[in-house]
Amino acid sequence: MRKHISTIIAGIIFLTGLSLLLYPTISNFWNSKHQTQAVADYSKQIEKMDDQEKEQALAAAEEYNQTLITNGGRFTPSEEEDTLYDSLLDANGTGMMGYITIPEIRCKLPIYHGVEDSVLQVGIGHIEGSSLPVGGKGTHCVLSGHRGLPSAKLFTDLDKLEKGDIFLLHIYDKVLTYEIDQISIVEPEDYGLLEIEDGKDLCTLLTCTPYGINTQRLLVRGHRIENRSGDDSRVTSDAAEVSSLTVAVCVAIPLLIISFLVVDLSIRRSRKKQKK
């Protein structure tokens, strides 16, 4: 009996360890699946809009960006400014502005209004007070994402980017290409490199660093360039790379082991009763 109990305990320990080992992979798969679906739903909504609606939405965002140039308190907006901000570039009512693709690190993620934790758990947040991601001279868009989450990859590989790499913003039916020209590490309260620069069209990707410590901020800045031939949104997400069958097998194996142990215990007990 003691030997049997020891086997059960060993099985439980094994399954616990296996579950902990598989959790990041499976969780990242489901989050990536959600991100892929969010991008697909957004794209469908944009396709349903007529040209005039799209033009009006982009024009309103550009007008908003112009007001930021002379707004010294743009990173501490009023309630009224919050309301206006939330109403812009919200095509499907989810707060999703568009999405970003980073070919070098095979990244394709939805972009949402704000940097609340609920946003950063599932996608990339636009920092209110920075320019909306529609481009134009005298704009500087800042996008923030988590790094190192066990449940989602997000901006985990941002530190692998180098000067000369590109990233693309897909906003409504507009594609904006940025070439990385500056990579910096700053203190969390240092906003100096996020300022709008006269005549420049900039976008900065922001995440925490060092990995797992998160005491500083990694800033990867790009300047707008002409769209290149072949540069589009064809970046395969992690969810698409990993088949549903693979995930199902990973989930099924621990369940089968548990079932085997339960059945084995039941059979052993039944045999003991028969002997008695």
Known catalytic residues are 146, 208
C-alpha distances out from residue 183 to 36, 94, 221, Å: 28, 31, 6
Strand partners, 171: 98, 174
CB-CB contact of 65 with 132 (8 Å): yes
Whether the CB-CB separation of 124 and 143 falls below 8 Å is answered with yes
3-state secondary structure at position 88: coil
Residue 191 tokens read as 């906003």
Half-sphere exposure of 269 (CA within 13 A, CB side): 7
Angle 98-170-177 (CA atoms, 0-180°, nearest 5)? 140
Helical H segments across the chain, by residue range: 2-48, 51-68, 79-87, 117-120, 238-241, 244-275
Look at the chain and count its residues: 276
Distance CA(29)–CA(247), nearest Å, equals 8
Q: CA 13, 17, 18: angle at the middle one, nearest 5?
A: 115
Residue indicated by tokens 């959600």: 34
